[in-house]
Amino acid sequence: MKPPADDPLQYCRFCFSQYRVEPLLSGGPKDQQLVKQIRSLVQIELEPNQAATTAICSRCRHQLTEFQLFRDRCSHHDSIVREKVEGNQSSQNDMWYAVEPLDDGEDSNDDEASLSKNDPLQGVSDVVSKNKTRESFWRAISQDVGVIPDHIKRTLELTGFYRNASLGMISPTTIKQIEQDMRDTVHYVTSSMGSLGGNRWEVLRQYYGAVYCKNPSKFKFLAGEVQTILSITAAVQENGIHEYLSKAGVTQNRKELLNAADKPDDAETLTEKLADKIQDYYRQHANDSEEFGEFFARLPGVDRCVVRQREDGTIIGLMYCSYCNMHLQVTRDGNSWRIHNFVKHCQQHYRVEYRTVKKK
């Protein structure tokens, strides 16, 4: 079997398709990330000169996105199962673990948890302010992905995906489920016309688009709309949902409270101890892999840790995760920092291998 053309930019390197083919590299900042993704997911190593003369079709590009989402979902759910299993094993008499136990104790990040589980805009009580915040949220994403049709925004809002990090985990299979959900909620949309405003066709157009507003029971996304949703997912996956919430002003109040909080007298010393503890923790579990080296290099140093003192005298720390563009809250237990919350969060980026030792 031979390549379909002499020019490698005229066909997809990964399936030989010549339909909707484009150069693999666009000259943008995401090029290296795509090359790493190909190496990680399909075990193909592309040298710089090879990547520059490589093309990819739209289908394979979307397959890569779906593979990445699938792997991330598997890793996330596997970590949940492992934590449960390991938690059960650690309570047995013949086992103990050579790492700190991870729990949901005092340093669980209640603020961040509420953002991920509930509507991140629910703190905006005024209707006008809430609408402006929603507009700002979508405008922030549009800056990265281009124009987003109104009915796509409303569909993602109605089905609950835009409200948290699940917006970054939508796959083509998920899109099929969203379409089915929208077909099943026609009655709900039409029965809510009074609160939504506008006449029947206008409301249906807002949720089902111009093509299916007169036949919403047959609703499905057009091909270009599917690409738009996958682009939104890719942007959220790369930048983190909290970056867009921040741009929309959702996290502004929290930042203002942080800036207004007092620094303890020994803030610099506490910050150094906090950064040292997380670095020391992962040094104990270091290995020679390239993945661990990259992960360790992204751990927060002193410049990425903030220490504040609440009104009740409690000392808290915020550690910045460069993967998610968010801060994880940690607390102090006596004279030492409790970093369980940060370590637990980092399991989704690099999972520390747990070592078990039998008691003698």
- Write out the binding residues for Zn(2+): 12, 15, 57, 60
Which residue from 157, 102, 100, 97 is spatially nearest to 133, judged by alpha carbons?
157
H-helix segments, 120-222? 127-145, 150-158, 172-184, 186-191, 193-196, 200-212
Residue 183 CB contacts under 8 Å (≥ 6 apart), including other chains: 216, 217, 218, 219
Distance between CA atoms of 112 and 147, rounded to whole angstroms? 29
Which residue from 163, 160, 203 is spatially nearest to 181, judged by alpha carbons?
160
Residue 247 CB contacts under 8 Å (≥ 6 apart), including other chains: 136, 137, 140
Annotated binding site: 12, 15, 57, 60
The answer to whether 111 touches 245, Cβ cutoff 8 Å, is: no
H-helix segments, the chain? 31-42, 48-52, 58-90, 110-117, 127-145, 150-158, 172-184, 186-191, 193-196, 200-212, 223-239, 241-247, 252-260, 267-283, 290-297, 340-346
Q: Judge residue 224's burial from the number of C-beta atoms within 10 Å of its C-beta, 0-12 exposed, 13-18 middle, 19 or more buried.
A: exposed
Distance between CA atoms of 208 and 183, rounded to whole angstroms? 9
CA distances from 160 to 14, 125, 222, 348 (A): 35, 19, 20, 23
